[in-house]
Copies of this chain bind each other. A is one copy, B any other.
Amino acid sequence: MIGIDMKALTGETALWLASERYVELAQRALEMRESSYCPYSGFAVGAALLTEEGRVYTGCNIENAAYSVTVCAERTALFKAVSEGERRFSAIAVAGGKADGPAGGLCTPCGVCRQALREFCGPDFAVVCPITDEKGTLSELRIYALDELLPDSFGPDDLGR
């Protein structure tokens, strides 16, 4: 896990270029919280998924009175992309918090979404988690490799043994 303080990065060009893309992705995730349908939890989440070729697919959480039918923002973005023929991805940003306020603190993907990403993404796929201040301004990015969030995972190879 790499904590990135945006200001500190100025000047470190290579990493900055990588993180600049992640900042853009994080902004898209933050914006997508507006589309959230979360009448039951009141917790709005947005996500933005980056393909290897540079296209971005966005998603939000969509709840259901039968709670188990709920889908998270990350999976919404992934399902959209896969249904458009995409199969190779490099990063996802996810931002969540109370619907009537800024994202605020860290919101990482739930286990279901980690597993959904695992089907299509490699161990180095980046999971980007923005943290904002009380005004909703991006103040920090935390970046995980998928394999850090779902180590020793159950995946496609296991079924074929």
- A29 to nearest B CB, angstroms? 12
Inter-subunit contact B65/A108 (CB<8 Å): no
Inter-subunit contact B72/A71 (CB<8 Å): no
In angstroms, Cα B104 to Cα A108, docked, is 33
Inter-subunit contact B116/A65 (CB<8 Å): no
Collect the chain B residues with CB atoms within 8 Å of residue A109's CB. Answer: 154
- Number of A interface residues in the complex (CB < 8 A): 64
Q: List 18 A-B contacts (CB under 8 A).
A: A35-B83, A35-B85, A37-B82, A39-B156, A41-B159, A43-B159, A60-B82, A62-B82, A63-B119, A66-B115, A68-B110, A77-B83, A79-B80, A106-B152, A108-B154, A110-B153, A150-B150, A151-B151
Residues of A at the B interface (CB closer than 8 Å) are 1, 32, 35, 37, 39-41, 43, 58-60, 62-72, 75-80, 82-85, 87, 96-98, 104-116, 118-119, 144, 148-156, 158-159, 161
